[in-house]
Amino acid sequence: MGFETSDDAGVFKINDSVALIQTLDFLTPVTDSPYEFGQIAAANSLSDVYAMGGKPLTAMNIVCFPSEDLDENILSETLQGGIDKINEAGATLVGGHSVDDKEFKYGLSVTGLVHPEKFLVNKGAEKGDALILTKPVGTGILATAVKAGLADEKSTREMVETMSMLNRYAAEIMVDFRISACTDVTGFGLAGHLLEMAKGSKKNIVLFTEKVPVISSAKEFALMGMVPAGAYKNKKFCAPGVSVNPEIDKILLDLMFDPQTSGGLILSMRPGDASSCIDIMKDKGIRAEIIGEVRDNDHCGTLTII
Protein backbone atom coordinates (compact mmCIF):
# COMPACT_ATOMS: atom_id res chain seq x y z
CA MET A 1 0.00 0.00 0.00
CA GLY A 2 1.34 3.45 -0.92
CA PHE A 3 1.73 6.71 1.00
CA GLU A 4 -0.59 8.98 -1.00
CA THR A 5 -3.55 9.12 1.41
CA SER A 6 -1.48 9.30 4.63
CA ASP A 7 -2.96 6.13 6.08
CA ASP A 8 -2.35 4.84 9.59
CA ALA A 9 0.28 2.18 8.88
CA GLY A 10 2.15 0.33 6.16
CA VAL A 11 0.75 -2.97 4.86
CA PHE A 12 3.05 -5.55 3.24
CA LYS A 13 1.66 -8.70 1.64
CA ILE A 14 3.59 -11.88 2.53
CA ASN A 15 1.34 -14.38 0.71
CA ASP A 16 -2.34 -14.80 -0.26
CA SER A 17 -3.50 -15.15 3.33
CA VAL A 18 -1.09 -13.01 5.37
CA ALA A 19 -0.08 -9.35 5.26
CA LEU A 20 2.04 -7.47 7.80
CA ILE A 21 0.92 -4.15 9.26
CA GLN A 22 3.82 -2.02 10.47
CA THR A 23 3.64 1.22 12.41
CA LEU A 24 5.54 3.24 14.99
CA ASP A 25 4.75 6.17 17.22
CA PHE A 26 6.31 7.82 20.27
CA LEU A 27 5.31 10.67 22.57
CA THR A 28 6.52 13.01 25.26
CA PRO A 29 4.79 12.49 28.66
CA VAL A 30 1.12 13.51 28.82
CA THR A 31 0.52 12.77 32.53
CA ASP A 32 2.49 13.02 35.77
CA SER A 33 2.29 9.27 36.34
CA PRO A 34 5.01 7.35 34.45
CA TYR A 35 2.97 4.12 34.60
CA GLU A 36 -0.06 5.82 33.01
CA PHE A 37 2.14 7.53 30.43
CA GLY A 38 3.47 4.08 29.47
CA GLN A 39 -0.06 2.74 29.08
CA ILE A 40 -1.17 5.73 26.99
CA ALA A 41 1.90 5.70 24.71
CA ALA A 42 1.47 1.96 24.09
CA ALA A 43 -2.30 2.22 23.45
CA ASN A 44 -1.55 5.07 21.03
CA SER A 45 1.08 3.04 19.15
CA LEU A 46 -1.09 -0.10 18.98
CA SER A 47 -4.07 1.88 17.68
CA ASP A 48 -2.88 2.15 14.08
CA VAL A 49 -2.93 -1.66 13.78
CA TYR A 50 -6.57 -1.70 14.90
CA ALA A 51 -7.38 1.17 12.52
CA MET A 52 -6.13 -1.03 9.64
CA GLY A 53 -8.39 -3.88 10.77
CA GLY A 54 -5.49 -6.01 12.01
CA LYS A 55 -4.30 -7.73 15.19
CA PRO A 56 -1.05 -6.69 16.91
CA LEU A 57 1.51 -9.51 16.96
CA THR A 58 4.78 -8.06 18.29
CA ALA A 59 5.98 -4.74 19.72
CA MET A 60 9.35 -3.10 20.36
CA ASN A 61 10.08 -0.29 22.80
CA ILE A 62 11.39 3.06 21.58
CA VAL A 63 12.93 5.04 24.44
CA CYS A 64 14.64 8.44 24.62
CA PHE A 65 15.59 9.06 28.25
CA PRO A 66 17.46 11.85 30.06
CA SER A 67 19.32 9.50 32.44
CA GLU A 68 21.17 12.36 34.17
CA ASP A 69 18.00 14.33 35.03
CA LEU A 70 15.41 11.66 35.73
CA ASP A 71 15.27 8.78 38.18
CA GLU A 72 15.64 5.28 36.71
CA ASN A 73 12.31 4.29 38.35
CA ILE A 74 10.48 6.66 36.03
CA LEU A 75 11.69 4.63 33.09
CA SER A 76 10.91 1.24 34.62
CA GLU A 77 7.37 2.32 35.60
CA THR A 78 6.77 3.70 32.10
CA LEU A 79 7.96 0.45 30.52
CA GLN A 80 5.73 -1.54 32.90
CA GLY A 81 2.69 0.51 31.77
CA GLY A 82 3.66 -0.26 28.19
CA ILE A 83 4.12 -4.00 28.82
CA ASP A 84 0.73 -4.21 30.55
CA LYS A 85 -0.98 -2.67 27.50
CA ILE A 86 0.97 -4.89 25.08
CA ASN A 87 -0.21 -7.92 27.09
CA GLU A 88 -3.79 -6.61 27.15
CA ALA A 89 -3.57 -6.35 23.35
CA GLY A 90 -2.46 -10.01 23.16
CA ALA A 91 0.85 -8.99 21.58
CA THR A 92 4.41 -9.87 22.63
CA LEU A 93 7.21 -7.48 23.49
CA VAL A 94 10.24 -8.69 21.54
CA GLY A 95 12.85 -5.99 22.11
CA GLY A 96 13.55 -2.32 21.75
CA HIS A 97 16.16 0.39 21.78
CA SER A 98 16.96 3.30 24.07
CA VAL A 99 19.11 6.39 23.66
CA ASP A 100 20.06 9.25 25.94
CA ASP A 101 18.10 12.39 25.09
CA LYS A 102 17.30 15.75 26.71
CA GLU A 103 13.55 15.12 26.59
CA PHE A 104 11.88 11.88 27.69
CA LYS A 105 9.99 10.09 24.90
CA TYR A 106 8.44 6.65 24.75
CA GLY A 107 6.48 4.62 22.25
CA LEU A 108 6.35 1.38 20.32
CA SER A 109 7.06 -0.02 16.94
CA VAL A 110 4.23 -2.51 16.34
CA THR A 111 3.84 -5.33 13.82
CA GLY A 112 0.38 -6.73 13.22
CA LEU A 113 -1.28 -9.28 10.97
CA VAL A 114 -4.21 -8.90 8.61
CA HIS A 115 -5.66 -10.78 5.65
CA PRO A 116 -4.28 -9.04 2.51
CA GLU A 117 -7.80 -8.58 1.13
CA LYS A 118 -9.42 -7.51 4.38
CA PHE A 119 -7.34 -4.61 5.66
CA LEU A 120 -9.14 -1.30 6.18
CA VAL A 121 -8.05 2.06 4.80
CA ASN A 122 -9.03 5.67 5.39
CA LYS A 123 -10.50 6.04 1.92
CA GLY A 124 -13.53 4.30 0.37
CA ALA A 125 -16.30 5.90 2.43
CA GLU A 126 -19.56 5.50 0.48
CA LYS A 127 -22.41 7.90 -0.19
CA GLY A 128 -25.02 7.59 2.55
CA ASP A 129 -22.62 5.99 5.09
CA ALA A 130 -22.92 6.91 8.74
CA LEU A 131 -19.71 7.77 10.61
CA ILE A 132 -19.07 6.39 14.08
CA LEU A 133 -16.53 7.78 16.56
CA THR A 134 -15.57 5.38 19.38
CA LYS A 135 -14.00 7.70 22.01
CA PRO A 136 -14.81 11.18 23.31
CA VAL A 137 -12.60 14.10 22.16
CA GLY A 138 -10.92 16.73 24.33
CA THR A 139 -7.74 14.95 25.49
CA GLY A 140 -5.46 17.66 24.04
CA ILE A 141 -7.29 20.37 25.98
CA LEU A 142 -7.30 18.23 29.14
CA ALA A 143 -3.56 17.50 28.82
CA THR A 144 -2.94 21.27 28.54
CA ALA A 145 -5.00 21.85 31.70
CA VAL A 146 -3.09 19.07 33.50
CA LYS A 147 0.24 20.68 32.55
CA ALA A 148 -1.02 24.05 33.82
CA GLY A 149 -1.97 22.38 37.12
CA LEU A 150 -5.65 23.27 36.66
CA ALA A 151 -7.26 19.87 36.11
CA ASP A 152 -8.95 18.25 39.11
CA GLU A 153 -8.63 14.57 39.97
CA LYS A 154 -11.90 13.58 38.24
CA SER A 155 -11.07 15.26 34.91
CA THR A 156 -7.54 13.85 34.98
CA ARG A 157 -8.97 10.34 35.55
CA GLU A 158 -11.38 10.69 32.64
CA MET A 159 -8.54 11.86 30.37
CA VAL A 160 -6.22 9.00 31.39
CA GLU A 161 -8.99 6.38 31.03
CA THR A 162 -9.89 7.67 27.57
CA MET A 163 -6.31 7.73 26.30
CA SER A 164 -5.19 4.43 27.83
CA MET A 165 -8.21 2.47 26.56
CA LEU A 166 -7.20 0.13 23.74
CA ASN A 167 -9.08 0.49 20.45
CA ARG A 168 -9.05 -3.31 20.47
CA TYR A 169 -12.57 -3.53 21.93
CA ALA A 170 -14.16 -1.30 19.29
CA ALA A 171 -12.15 -3.07 16.57
CA GLU A 172 -13.37 -6.51 17.69
CA ILE A 173 -16.97 -5.33 17.34
CA MET A 174 -16.48 -3.59 14.00
CA VAL A 175 -15.16 -6.72 12.22
CA ASP A 176 -18.69 -8.15 12.20
CA PHE A 177 -19.85 -5.24 10.00
CA ARG A 178 -18.91 -4.13 6.51
CA ILE A 179 -16.65 -1.13 7.04
CA SER A 180 -16.02 1.04 3.97
CA ALA A 181 -13.35 3.24 5.60
CA CYS A 182 -11.57 3.39 8.96
CA THR A 183 -8.94 5.49 10.69
CA ASP A 184 -8.04 6.60 14.20
CA VAL A 185 -8.12 10.11 15.62
CA THR A 186 -4.73 11.48 16.63
CA GLY A 187 -2.76 14.68 16.06
CA PHE A 188 -4.90 16.25 13.34
CA GLY A 189 -7.99 16.20 15.55
CA LEU A 190 -11.39 14.74 14.68
CA ALA A 191 -12.04 17.26 11.89
CA GLY A 192 -8.55 16.80 10.40
CA HIS A 193 -8.88 13.01 10.21
CA LEU A 194 -12.42 13.30 8.79
CA LEU A 195 -11.09 15.64 6.10
CA GLU A 196 -8.39 13.06 5.23
CA MET A 197 -11.12 10.43 4.89
CA ALA A 198 -13.24 12.77 2.74
CA LYS A 199 -10.31 13.53 0.44
CA GLY A 200 -9.28 9.87 0.11
CA SER A 201 -12.90 8.91 -0.61
CA LYS A 202 -13.60 11.92 -2.85
CA LYS A 203 -16.80 12.63 -0.92
CA ASN A 204 -18.29 15.37 1.21
CA ILE A 205 -18.38 14.47 4.91
CA VAL A 206 -20.79 16.26 7.22
CA LEU A 207 -19.79 16.46 10.89
CA PHE A 208 -22.60 16.99 13.43
CA THR A 209 -20.78 18.82 16.23
CA GLU A 210 -23.63 18.39 18.72
CA LYS A 211 -23.38 14.58 18.40
CA VAL A 212 -19.65 14.34 19.15
CA PRO A 213 -18.91 12.79 22.58
CA VAL A 214 -16.72 15.16 24.60
CA ILE A 215 -14.79 14.61 27.86
CA SER A 216 -17.00 16.35 30.40
CA SER A 217 -14.70 19.15 31.57
CA ALA A 218 -12.99 19.82 28.22
CA LYS A 219 -15.41 22.63 27.28
CA GLU A 220 -14.81 24.34 30.62
CA PHE A 221 -11.02 24.25 30.17
CA ALA A 222 -11.33 25.40 26.56
CA LEU A 223 -13.31 28.41 27.80
CA MET A 224 -10.43 29.13 30.20
CA GLY A 225 -8.04 29.25 27.23
CA MET A 226 -6.52 25.77 27.61
CA VAL A 227 -6.74 25.03 23.87
CA PRO A 228 -3.35 23.72 22.64
CA ALA A 229 -1.62 25.55 19.78
CA GLY A 230 -1.97 22.37 17.70
CA ALA A 231 -5.75 22.87 17.52
CA TYR A 232 -5.33 26.25 15.80
CA LYS A 233 -2.63 24.80 13.55
CA ASN A 234 -5.02 22.02 12.54
CA LYS A 235 -7.82 24.49 11.88
CA LYS A 236 -5.60 26.60 9.66
CA PHE A 237 -4.16 23.61 7.82
CA CYS A 238 -7.63 22.18 7.08
CA ALA A 239 -9.32 25.50 6.23
CA PRO A 240 -9.18 25.11 2.41
CA GLY A 241 -11.26 21.90 2.57
CA VAL A 242 -13.62 22.81 5.41
CA SER A 243 -16.81 24.85 5.54
CA VAL A 244 -18.22 25.76 8.94
CA ASN A 245 -21.74 26.79 9.89
CA PRO A 246 -21.13 30.31 11.31
CA GLU A 247 -23.64 29.68 14.11
CA ILE A 248 -21.52 26.94 15.71
CA ASP A 249 -20.28 27.58 19.20
CA LYS A 250 -16.58 28.62 18.91
CA ILE A 251 -15.50 26.38 21.79
CA LEU A 252 -17.19 23.35 20.26
CA LEU A 253 -15.41 24.11 16.99
CA ASP A 254 -12.03 24.25 18.78
CA LEU A 255 -12.79 20.80 20.20
CA MET A 256 -13.29 19.40 16.69
CA PHE A 257 -9.67 20.36 15.88
CA ASP A 258 -8.18 19.46 19.29
CA PRO A 259 -5.16 17.18 18.65
CA GLN A 260 -5.83 13.81 20.28
CA THR A 261 -3.42 11.30 21.76
CA SER A 262 -4.69 7.73 21.43
CA GLY A 263 -8.10 8.88 20.16
CA GLY A 264 -10.95 6.67 19.01
CA LEU A 265 -11.62 4.99 15.70
CA ILE A 266 -13.71 6.60 12.96
CA LEU A 267 -15.77 3.98 11.11
CA SER A 268 -17.73 4.53 7.92
CA MET A 269 -20.56 2.04 7.32
CA ARG A 270 -24.17 1.64 6.19
CA PRO A 271 -26.56 3.58 8.47
CA GLY A 272 -28.56 0.46 9.42
CA ASP A 273 -25.36 -1.34 10.47
CA ALA A 274 -24.14 1.74 12.31
CA SER A 275 -27.05 1.77 14.73
CA SER A 276 -26.62 -1.95 15.57
CA CYS A 277 -22.86 -1.44 15.90
CA ILE A 278 -23.36 1.52 18.27
CA ASP A 279 -25.76 -0.52 20.44
CA ILE A 280 -23.23 -3.34 20.84
CA MET A 281 -20.41 -0.89 21.57
CA LYS A 282 -22.44 0.96 24.20
CA ASP A 283 -23.30 -2.36 25.88
CA LYS A 284 -19.54 -2.97 26.22
CA GLY A 285 -18.96 0.45 27.82
CA ILE A 286 -17.57 2.14 24.70
CA ARG A 287 -18.63 5.79 24.37
CA ALA A 288 -19.39 5.50 20.64
CA GLU A 289 -21.73 7.83 18.75
CA ILE A 290 -22.79 8.47 15.17
CA ILE A 291 -21.15 11.83 14.49
CA GLY A 292 -21.51 12.39 10.76
CA GLU A 293 -22.52 11.19 7.36
CA VAL A 294 -21.06 10.81 3.89
CA ARG A 295 -22.55 12.74 0.97
CA ASP A 296 -21.74 12.66 -2.70
CA ASN A 297 -21.97 16.27 -3.81
CA ASP A 298 -18.33 16.82 -4.73
CA HIS A 299 -15.37 15.00 -6.22
CA CYS A 300 -12.43 16.51 -4.40
CA GLY A 301 -13.20 15.71 -0.76
CA THR A 302 -14.52 18.31 1.67
CA LEU A 303 -15.72 18.53 5.23
CA THR A 304 -18.82 20.45 6.29
CA ILE A 305 -19.06 21.20 10.00
CA ILE A 306 -22.59 21.93 11.23
Site residues (vs Co ion, CB under 5 A)? 8, 25, 48, 184
CA 181 to chain centre: 14
Nearer to Co ion, 173 or 182 (CB): 182
Angle separating helix axes 250-257 and 189-201, nearest 10 degrees: 70
Torsion of CA 122, 123, 129, 130, to 10 degrees: 20
CB-nearest residue to Co ion:
8
Cβ closest to Co ion, residue 25 vs residue 217? 25
Of 6 and 92, nearer to Co ion (C-beta) is 6
Evaluate whether 216 touches 249 at the Cβ level (below 8 Å): no
Q: Minimum Å distance from CB 24 to Co ion?
A: 8
Closer CB to Co ion, 35 or 50, in the complex = 50
Q: Compute the distance between CA of residue 1 and CA of residue 260 in angstroms, rounded to an integer.
A: 25
- Contact, 27 vs 41, CB < 8 A? yes
Residues paired with residue 167 on neighbouring β-strands, in sequence order: none
For residues 6 and 186, the answer to whether their CB atoms sit within 8 Å is: no
Smallest separation, CB 296 to Co ion (Å) = 25
- In angstroms, give the least distance from the CB of 183 to Co ion: 6
Least CB distance from residue 67 to Co ion, whole Å? 27
**Integer Cα distance of 261 and 27 in angstroms:** 9
Q: Nearest distance from residue 184's CB to Co ion, in Å?
A: 4
Q: Tell me how far, at minimum, the Cβ of 171 lies from Co ion, in Å.
A: 13
Which parts of 36-174 are beta strand (E)?
55-65, 92-100, 105-114, 130-133
**Calculated CA dihedral for residues 7, 8, 13, 16, nearest 10 degrees:** -90
User: In whole angstroms, how close is the CB of 209 to Co ion at the nearest point?
Assistant: 22
In the complex with Co ion, the residue whose CB is nearer, 184 or 254, is: 184
Nearer to Co ion, 158 or 184 (CB): 184
Q: Across-strand partners of 20?
A: 12, 113
Q: Which is nearer to Co ion, 8 or 158 (CB)?
A: 8
What is the DSSP secondary-structure string of 234-256? HHHHHGGGEEE-TTS-HHHHHHH
